[in-house]
Amino acid sequence: MRRRELLTLLSGVVTAWPFVVHAQQGEHARRLGVLMSGTPEADPEARARVAALRQGLKELGWVEGHNLVIDYRWGVADVARIRAYATELLALKPDVVFAAPSTALAQMQRVTRTIPIVFAQVSDPVSSGFVTSLAHPGGNITGFALYEFALGAKWLELLKQIAPSATRIAVLYDPATPSAAGFLPLIEAASRSLGVDVFVHSVHETREIERIIDAFAAEPNGGLIAIPSNVLAAQRDFIISLANRNHLPSISAFRSYAAAGGLASYGVDNIELYRRAASYIDRILKGEKPSDLPVQEASKFALIINAKTAKALGLTVPLHLQQIADEIIE
């Protein structure tokens, strides 16, 4: 689906990746460090993202075990652990580092201002202080931006269209995620035009989630927005089960949310971003500087609706949303 079409309509455990391969021709191989959140064993989407990165590199001639060594480090919601692994990657003296999402990028930025860094899945890298501007990043960082903060308003608008009786919306966000708070002003601004009351809840640890959702659901006509972060992603299934148990229609950014039983998701096709990131890694390995490579914004967005969840919540998905959705999960 075209992004313009929908926007117009809507007005911590860290583990090494199991596929690490040492180069057979070490003296000729280049080294790539990869710092990402997620757990590849438990998260199919995390596996798909890194597979897209690896495939993109392979298509450009970079083959693990031949001319490329990749050192993977993964972190879930433990910022201190992610920071430690950023330091560890730096000690391996990579030619370039790939970091995603913003939590990983922030920790990588803390440990080096010289090693080239390519990012993906980062919201508003200018406001977050990662680059000077999109056209002229400056410094040692460039990459592929996830989406602008205006997307927060679209989550609210979508939720209101599918669940028109919802007049109270709980917004969960993790204040430790650099970009998360950026969505809040736009969600709150949209709530005024939609006649919806927004209740913002910061989540510092997973044990707070059940208390927040159960207390919010004590009053009727509620809904839920889960702003993406490491903490909330790690508890995705738990959040969805609580929302559905309390009859709260819910929405988030990624397909995995709707696929796991959330009412809907709307956001960037992350797999495409990771595949595109390989092109910048390739160009840097061939001698170009991050400061000369403009940050590229996402161009492919997807609306996913879980019709089974809608039915269980007693909701009817409007026909116009059914027609423009990229996927309806039955």
Bridge-based pairing state of the strands 30-37 and 96-100: parallel
* C-alpha pair distances (Å), 176 with each of 46, 142, 179, 208, 209: 20, 22, 9, 15, 15
pTM of the model: 0.77
Main-chain phi, psi angles of 172, to 5 degrees: -95, 135
d(CA 252, CA 258): 8
64 DSSP assignment: B
Q: Which residues contact 75 (CB under 8 A, 6 or more apart)?
A: 12, 14, 35, 36, 37, 81, 82, 85, 103, 104, 230
Contacts made by residues 310-319, CB under 8 angstroms, sequence distance 24+:
310/162, 310/249, 310/263, 312/244, 313/163, 313/244, 313/247, 313/249, 313/263, 314/247, 315/162, 315/163, 315/249, 315/263, 317/162, 318/161, 318/162
pLDDT tens, N- to C-terminus, the chain (330 residues): 444 444 444 443 333 443 444 434 445 799 999 999 766 666 777 888 899 999 999 999 999 989 999 999 987 667 888 899 999 999 999 999 999 988 899 999 999 999 999 999 888 899 889 999 999 999 999 999 986 788 899 999 999 999 999 999 999 998 887 678 889 999 999 999 999 999 999 998 778 999 999 999 999 999 999 998 878 888 999 999 999 999 999 999 989 899 999 999 999 888 889 999 999 999 999 999 999 999 998 888 899 999 999 999 999 999 999 999 999 999
Q: Which residues contact 310 (CB under 8 A, 6 or more apart)?
A: 162, 249, 263, 316, 317
d(CA 9, CA 88): 47
Which domains, and CATH codes, for the chain?
3-147+270-300 (3.40.50.2300), 151-267+302-329 (3.40.50.2300)
Assign 311 to helix, strand or coil. helix
Compute CA 57 distance to the chain's CA centroid, rounded to the nearest angstrom: 21
d(CA 208, CA 310): 26
d(CA 306, CA 295): 33
The two three-digit tokens of residue 128, written as one number: 């977050």
The torsion angle over the Cα atoms of residues 158, 162, 165 and 170, rounded to 10 degrees, is: -50
Q: In what helix (H) or strand (E) does residue 143 lie, and over which residues does it extend?
A: strand 141-145
Q: Which residues contact 25 (CB under 8 A, 6 or more apart)?
A: 66, 67
180 DSSP assignment: G
The two three-digit tokens of residue 81, written as one number: 């652990």
